[in-house]
Structure 1
Amino acid sequence: MDRRQFMGVAASGLIVGGSATLAEAAQAAEDERLAGFASSFNGSKSGWQNVVGNWTLKPGNLYNYGIAGKRTSVKHLNNYTNMYYKVRMRRRGNSTGVAANALVLRGNPSSRDTMGNWKPSYLFQYANSGWYSVYRYNADGSYTGVVPWATTSAVYRTGYNIVEVWAYSDGYLDFHINGSHLWGGGDSGGPTFGNVGLSIYTEPGKYSETFVDYANLTILNSRSSRRHTGVSGTPRLGGSVNMAPA
């Protein structure tokens, strides 16, 4: 049930039942959505829900042990359109360093393909060996390489990476890693509203661990501060939505 449906159910409950409980809950959810969130994962994963795999708390981190051949994922409960989404995360056990680690935007986690990808969604990805990509997953299960895998020196191959995305309702998107601009541009064919989260692919026969230090989201009203364009790095043929070229 999306935000608009929930608001409608809450309003109906108020009228029929004579109780303000549902309406107050709906308003509280809407207030939180409009305010964004700041999750430090210091003893709480409030607002977050497992989608695929078990995401648990370790000291100061949201933690996941991957599932071989699948994408494990976690979502924030609210839906967003215009946003600045920032995550500090670390991936261990990335086989040869080419498995995808993704911030997911405007997704529908209730609809997934056999690998665990949300349909539809945007995937802003990096691989530990020095790659990044932007994929649009479509509602019919097909996917589009908005930015196919490209090389970058911005990724820290060990330790934590800070991944940032700016997204606007006019289709403009901007992607940074560790303060370096990687891509900015428009995409008019993707989803405009949905959940945000994280999605981690684990290669068959391999293992992976993901540590999320924090995840923050701020609602945006204009793109005046982010007008980068173009692709940074060298796009390469090969790879897939789940893995960068070997």
Structure 2
Amino acid sequence: MYQDLTRLIAEIIPIVRRAAEFIRAEALSFNPEKLRFKTFNNFASYVDQTSEEILVEGLSVILPGAGFVTEENTAGMSDSSLNWIIDPLDGTTNFLHGYPATAVTLALKEDQEILLGVTYLLHEDAVYHAVKGNGAWCGDKKLHVSDTTELEKTLIISGFPYSLAGKDEDYFRLIRQLLSHCHGIRSSGASAVDLVHVAAGRADAYFEFNLYLWDIAAGILLVEEAGGTVSDFNGGNRHLEAYEILAAGKVYPSLLGEVKALWNR
């Protein structure tokens, strides 16, 4: 089955590129007055919606039996066990400000298993993809997570969710503690971008909480297929509910120990 999915990658990439080309073209003349506010700091626009429509239309053709779970809900609710998980523009706030950290990201998930993931980074004009059991790739380059095992030698990425859900003190305590035990902490404002950086070995780890599965589904598989480990903050699988995510290369065991000790569940 996974070999069949590998053959799908060549059909998926042109669809993702069409959505990305639309986003890139709209960035030249985007009017912020057309924003739709989900909350005061969580935006969407016709750009997100149209990008999603491009993806849904194309993916419906190449795998007609699959349902859709999407950020903008353009395809309605799905009761299928096999679903495309889509974020048509990860980093909408970055897009609004012209900040170069945005992505189109999608995954194919059956029940609780992520089978395939594709993330296109607009600022790199690069497609990252993975199929379960077949490694993670960017073009013909195979991705590998960082081999660094010592926390003190790592570069970590974190993120700041739209809502801290009453966990602000716990989260900032965790960040403060890790800052004193690593080379530094970075944040791009786009989970899909951050997970690509971990999969490619540019950063050693990424953590965040209170996300949505479409933010991280493709990135989870990219990191795992690049040799990394992904879990929730307790080493379990609540990352598949997007409640918490800790994704890392070889530093995962020592980083998990720090996170477990500091995070109040």
Q: State the TM bucket, normalised to the shorter chain.
A: under 0.3
Greater share of helix residues, 1 or 2? 2
Relative to the length of structure 1, the TM-score reads 0.28
More strand by share: 1
